[in-house]
């Protein structure tokens, strides 16, 4: 049996990442009971820290919006009273609030909306993680050093003054011997304070090391290899300090694996490996040979969802294997068109590309029409009516999006089940994707300026259709 083994380079991303790479903000677009809402959560850089939450309610008659953080292992029973989100001045339908995320792991924010139509709740899962170590700005370091020197030398002078004069009988002047003793006292104070500073620096260094080694989350780096026409992903162990629970299927798949050709993203595959003996295997489709970024999206029993990273060298001569029915590939050169023809001759148009700006919340809107000009009918594909993968060409941003946002549906379901039990019929918690949409939209904010490639995937007449757009985000 022919066996191809490719050495896999491991790619290490130093920058902060979460369930999506380089794109930690969480977006949710859905319903809280009778109220259509959009939620954006900006997690803190370090935990414990404050998350910024904004809730846009797209209807009138709302009287109250409250938000509540719940850790996965305690749920709402282990949560404090909800915080009321305050209306944002000048925005009729926007509410904002800050919430403390106190420990690392899977949290969920319960968004309660009350108004004329009653009360509704939406669950928005969020990973609580320390994502980056903040460097001290130079000016701040200089200021602290200056203040520290003032305290240091004023303490030495104070000790010197105390030794020199504090014991003097009332009215008696300072003689030479006392001045000398004062100087000696000041010198001893300098020595002791220097020792304490040295100990303090060692303590600070130890805290910093502990933060970087144990508390700072970096995307787990897996190893990937090509064996017998399959790609094999070995599970990394580094994530276990953040979540030790087992993996659960997301949209029926234990892992959603994405291969993106380095540099231009020309070759792309969305695969679904099977787990055997702790490793993950997926049949490899025919892709252009070259070096690929490998992104593996997984979700845990806790609701924690994140992305594993690796790189793989796809060799020449890979024969197209029998793929999973939900696998899809795309090979597309860079192009600037905003209206594309899909393999089934339907046409997809990206409606709002020119309005994009880095770090600005937006909605990516696409419309799809059949070849005869009629509006396309979508079928569920992996539990959703559309998927989008957004990738920055340096590999530092990777996001798997759905019309309901960046959240993991399985995570949302797990939180809902823990709160309400396994049955969700007649439940006010909205966790299903709803009726087929007329058009496709994804809530998002590009986290950095740069060149991005966007793959939009839908299922029509049983076939997965993939459209590829390129865009420069200023």
Partner 1 sequence: MVCGWVVLRTSFFATEQERAVAVKYLGFYGPLGAWVTIWGSLTMLVSAPFDNWWHDAYGLDVEILSPPHTLLALGMYGVAVGALLLVLAQQNRAASQGANESKTATRLFLFALGVLLAMASIILTEKSYPNAQHTRSFYLLCGITYSFYLALASRASRSRWGATAAAAWYMAIVGGMVWILPLFKAQPMLAPIYLKVDHMVPPVFPFLLVLPALAIDLIHRALGMEGGFWRRCVVGAALGAAFFLVFVGVQWNFSAFLMHSEGAKNWFFSAHQQWPYFARPGPWRGEFWTGNGTDVFNVKAALLVLVCAMVAARVGIGMGGWMRTVRR
Residues that bind partner 1 (CB under 8 A): 44-49, 68-71, 73-74, 77-81, 100, 102-103, 107, 130, 133-136, 140, 144, 147-148, 150-151, 154-155, 157-158, 161-162, 165-171, 200, 203-204, 207-208, 211, 215
Minimum separation from the CB atom of position 152 to partner 1 (A): 10
CB of 375 to partner 1, least distance (A): 45
Closest CA to 40 of 97, 89, 101: 97
Residue (155 or 221) nearer to partner 1, CB: 155
Q: Cα(340)–Cα(312) distance, rounded to whole angstroms?
A: 30
CA distances from 280 to 160, 231, 232, 310, 452 (A): 69, 8, 6, 13, 28
Q: Give the residue with the Cβ less far from partner 1, 67 or 467.
A: 67
Q: What are phi and psi of 221, to 5 degrees?
A: -100, 115
Q: Cα separation of 465 and 341, whole Å? A: 10
- At closest approach, how far in Å is the CB of 113 from partner 1? 20
Indicate the residue among 134 and 425 with the shorter CB distance to partner 1: 134
Residue 17 neighbours by CB under 8 Å, 6+ apart: 23, 24, 131, 217, 218, 219, 306, 307
- Calpha distance 38→313 (Å, rounded): 40
Which two tokens mark 398? Answer: 């990777």
In the complex, least distance from residue 193 CB atom to partner 1, rounded to whole angstroms: 10
* Shorter beta-carbon distance to partner 1: residue 92 or 140: 140
Strand partners, 65: 113
- To 10 degrees, what angle do helices 138-165 and 176-210 make? 150
Q: Phi/psi class of residue 244: alpha, beta or left (left: φ > 0; alpha: ψ in -120 to 50)?
A: alpha
Q: How far is the CB of 467 from partner 1 (least distance, A)?
A: 41
Nearer to partner 1, 130 or 441 (CB): 130
Smaller CB distance to partner 1: residue 202 or 380? 202
Min CB(198)–partner 1 separation in Å: 13
User: Which CB sits closer to partner 1, 209 or 375?
Assistant: 209
The minimum distance between CB 106 and partner 1, in angstroms, equals 11
CB 400 within 8 A of CB 20: yes
């Amino acid at each position: 049996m022919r066996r191809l083994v490719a050495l896999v380079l491991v790619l290490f991303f130093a920058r902060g990442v979460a369930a999506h790479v380089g794109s930690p903000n969480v977006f949710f677009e859905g319903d809280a009971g009778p109220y259509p809402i959009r939620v954006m959560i900006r997690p803190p850089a370090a935990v414990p820290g404050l998350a910024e939450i904004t809730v846009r309610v797209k209807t009138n008659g709302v009287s109250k919006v409250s938000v509540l953080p719940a850790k996965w292992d305690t749920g709402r029973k282990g949560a404090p009273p909800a915080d009321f989100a305050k209306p944002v001045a000048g925005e009729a339908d926007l509410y904002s609030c800050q919430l403390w995320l106190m420990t690392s792991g899977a949290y969920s924010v319960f968004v309660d909306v009350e108004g004329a139509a009653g009360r509704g709740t939406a669950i928005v899962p969020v990973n609580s993680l320390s994502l980056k170590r903040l460097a001290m700005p130079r000016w701040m370091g200089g200021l602290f050093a200056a203040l520290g020197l003032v305290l240091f030398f004023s303490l030495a002078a104070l000790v010197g003054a105390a030794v020199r004069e504090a014991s003097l009988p009332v009215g008696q002047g300072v003689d030479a011997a006392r001045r000398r003793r004062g100087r000696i006292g000041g010198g001893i104070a300098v020595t002791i304070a220097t020792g304490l500073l040295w100990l303090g620096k060692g303590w600070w260094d130890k805290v910093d090391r502990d933060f970087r080694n144990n508390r700072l989350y970096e995307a787990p780096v897996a190893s990937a290899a090509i064996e017998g026409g399959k790609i094999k992903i070995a599970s990394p162990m580094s994530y276990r300090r953040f979540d030790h629970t087992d993996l659960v299927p997301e949209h029926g798949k234990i892992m959603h694996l994405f291969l993106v050709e380095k540099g231009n993203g020309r070759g792309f595959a969305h695969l679904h490996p099977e787990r055997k003996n702790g490793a993950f295997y997926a049949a490899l489709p025919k892709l252009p040979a070259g070096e690929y970024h490998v992104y593996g999206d997984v979700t845990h029993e806790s609701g924690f969802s994140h992305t594993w990273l690796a790189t793989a060298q796809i060799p020449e001569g890979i024969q197209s294997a029998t793929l999973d029915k939900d696998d899809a590939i795309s090979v597309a050169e860079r192009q600037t068109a905003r209206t594309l023809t899909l393999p089934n001759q339907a046409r997809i148009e990206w409606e709002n590309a020119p309005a994009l700006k880095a770090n600005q919340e937006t909605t990516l809107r696409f419309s799809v029409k059949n070849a005869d000009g009629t509006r396309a009918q979508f079928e569920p594909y992996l539990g959703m009516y559309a998927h989008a993968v957004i990738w920055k060409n340096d590999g530092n941003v990777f996001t798997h999006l759905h019309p309901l946002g960046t959240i993991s549906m399985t995570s949302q379901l797990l939180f809902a089940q823990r709160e309400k039990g396994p049955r969700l019929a007649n439940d006010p918690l909205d966790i299903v994707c709803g009726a087929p949409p007329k058009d496709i939209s994804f809530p998002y904010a590009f986290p950095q300026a740069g060149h991005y490639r966007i793959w939009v995937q839908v299922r029509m007449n049983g076939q997965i259709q993939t459209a590829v757009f390129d865009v420069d985000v200023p």
